[in-house]
Amino acid sequence: ETGVTQTPRHLVMGMTNKKSLKCEQHLGHNAMYWYKQSAKKPLELMFVYNFKEQTENNSVPSRFSPECPNSSHLFLHLHTLQPEDSALYLCASSLFGTSGKNIQYFGAGTRLSVL
């Protein structure tokens, strides 16, 4: 148990569906992240939130829409996805300060399949 909980663990959706992934951290961290992990590709950083403010959007298509209502919760809203969006979506959190040390704690991920 890392203190970062992701739901659901598995999700199958059609290309016209709308769904949301949820992430919750109980570690008192101030930064949260969404990553995409596809087979045989490096981990891709999608979004970064510091103190609930989005500080990074790595050219992610608009069919992925993040939301961070507070520093403990992070959502990823999904709309009209493509089959190539099927992947493991990982959430992470960290306590980011000024030292540069950034230990990120990961959830178990949501395995997404787009049909």
Partner 1 sequence: GEDVEQSLFLSVREGDSSVINCTYTDSSSTYLYWYKQEPGAGLQLLTYIFSNMDMKQDQRLTVLLNKKDKHLSLRIADTQTGDSAIYFCAETNFTGGGNKLTFGTGTQLKVEL
Q: Which pairs from 61-70 meet CB under 8 Å and 24+ separation? A: 66/34, 68/32
Q: Which residues bind partner 1 (CB under 8 A)?
A: 2, 4, 6, 31, 41-43, 45, 48, 50, 55-56, 90, 92, 94, 96, 98-109
User: To the nearest whole angstrom, how small is the minimum distance from the Cβ of residue 62 to partner 1?
Assistant: 22
Q: Which of 105, 111, 112, 115 has its CA nearest to residue 5?
A: 105
User: To the nearest whole angstrom, how small is the minimum distance from the Cβ of residue 103 to partner 1?
Assistant: 6
User: To the nearest whole angstrom, how small is the minimum distance from the Cβ of residue 80 to partner 1?
Assistant: 27
Percent helix, strand and coil across the chain, each to the nearest 5: 5, 55, 40
Q: Quick one: 79 or 102, whose CB is closer to partner 1? A: 102
Q: Quick one: 66 or 107, whose CB is closer to partner 1? A: 107
User: To the nearest whole angstrom, how small is the minimum distance from the Cβ of residue 16 to partner 1?
Assistant: 28
* Euclidean distance between CA atoms 5 and 18, whole angstroms: 21
Q: Quick one: 43 or 115, whose CB is closer to partner 1? A: 43
Query: Which amino acid type is present at position 86?
Result: S
Query: Which amino acid type is present at position 52?
Result: K
